[in-house]
Each structure stands twice: as structure tokens, then as C-alpha cells.
Amino acid sequence: MTGRSKIAQQPTFIEEKRLEEQGYRFIAGIDEVGRGPLAGPIAAAAVILPLNLNTPWLPLVRDSKQLTPKRREFLFPLIGRAAIAIGVGYVLPDVIDSQGIMRATRMAMCSAVELLPCPSDFLLIDHISLPELGLPQKNIIKGDSLSLSIACASIIAKVSRDRTMVALDAVYPGYGFARHKGYATREHLENLRRWGACPIHRRCFAPVRECIR
């Protein structure tokens, strides 16, 4: 450790511009959130941006994990207004239990692409391949730190899922979903042991299995 803070990498349109030079017009960045939580859905987003986008907030875009909740909420509507198209797909806990977490992740991503109001002709995907879609694509390791389209998708997916968990907190009170969003925090684990699993818990995850009554 040097003691110096690590500067977050700023994503760019480099990958998208290369594809534009090859004739692709509607390049969708795809990312997901919610693989790790013990409760709630997986959410994925597909975002098609205009590649001539030049706006003051664009340099603020980062992988959603590198942004504060306040910054994500600030960027969410701006991305929504600037994007050519956005699709958000969800996979619910019962499907995660039956299909497994990786299959469910791909299902959420495929759903996001299929929900785009205009079709994409190329996919830039964070880390995962989606051959089932039959579209030209490239998976990029740490793509949410490199590609602006993927980074914007990560923000859309994160804010969408967080808002869903806040709404579910009202349906299943007592677990603290609005605060921890289903992740395995101390608060969540204590409440899970106290109240047992509720319908949105993922029973295939060990901490939940141990608390099923």
C-alpha cells in the first residue's frame, strides 16, 4: 500500500467508436446487479447511447459500485433522457433457486436486451457472453470501468434494483431491505435468524437455507 487513494477509471466510448467504424449503429452496453444478495431479484440493464453524446455530466459516469447512492440517483434520469433506448430485465428469487445464479444472470441480461424499444445490432457485455441472443457481441472484463455504455447500464440496473428493494421493504417489513438491499449484512443476518426466510429470500443460498422454518 502506498497510502495514496486509488483513482476510479473513467470509462470511454473507445470500444463503441471502433464498432461504429465497422458499421454498427445501435450498440448496447449490458450489465447486471444483484448476484450476491440473499434476497430480491437480479436486475440487468441494456443501454444504447448516441455515440456523439457530449454533455457536462458524462465525465461523472463510473461503474455503479464506484459511485455514491446520491450520485447514482443524480445520473439515473440524465442517462434515461440521453439514451436512445433502455431495457431493464429482472429475474425473481424463485427462478434463481430453480435455475442457479449464473443461468439467472444471463436470463436477466437477455430480458433487458429483449425489452429494448429499438433493436441493438451489437452487444457490449460486462464479463458474460450471451450466445442465446444470436447477436454480434463482445464480453469485456471489467467492462463497467472501460465502456461508457456498460457503465451507464450498471447505473440503471443498480438504481432500478435498489428502488425495487425499497418497495419490497414495505411488503416484507422487519428485515431492513430498504437499507441493505438484500445483501448479507449483520443486520440482515440477524433479522433472517429472528424471522426466518420470507418469499423474496433465495433459498439456494446457504445462510437462507439454514433459517428456513
pLDDT for residue 69: 97
Q: List C-alpha distances in Å: 186 to 38, 163, 176.
A: 12, 21, 11
| Residue 46: domain span | 14-166
pLDDT the model gives residue 202: 98
Inside any domain, residue 182: no
Closest to 111 measured CA to CA, from 56, 199, 30: 30
Residue 134 lies in a domain: yes
Helix (H) or strand (E) holding 108: helix 101-114
CATH number of the domain that 110 lies in? 3.30.420.10
| Number of independent structural domains in the chain | 1
How far is it, in rounded angstroms, from Cα 87 to Cα 47?
7
Is 190 within the bounds of a domain? no
pTM reported for the whole predicted model: 0.94
- Please write the tens of the pLDDT for every residue from 107-147: 999 999 999 999 999 999 999 999 999 999 999 999 999 99
The predicted pLDDT at position 6 comes to: 53
pLDDT digits (tens, 9 = 90+) for 93-117: 999 999 999 999 999 999 999 999 9
How many Cβ atoms are within 10 Å of 153's Cβ, its own excluded?
Answer: 36
* Residue 102 belongs to some domain of the structure: yes
Write out pLDDT tens, residues 43-101: 999 999 999 999 999 999 999 999 999 999 999 999 999 999 999 999 999 999 999 99
β-strand 122-126 against 27-33: which pairing, if any?
parallel
Could you tell me the pLDDT band of residue 3, with boundaries at 50, 70 and 90?
Answer: very low
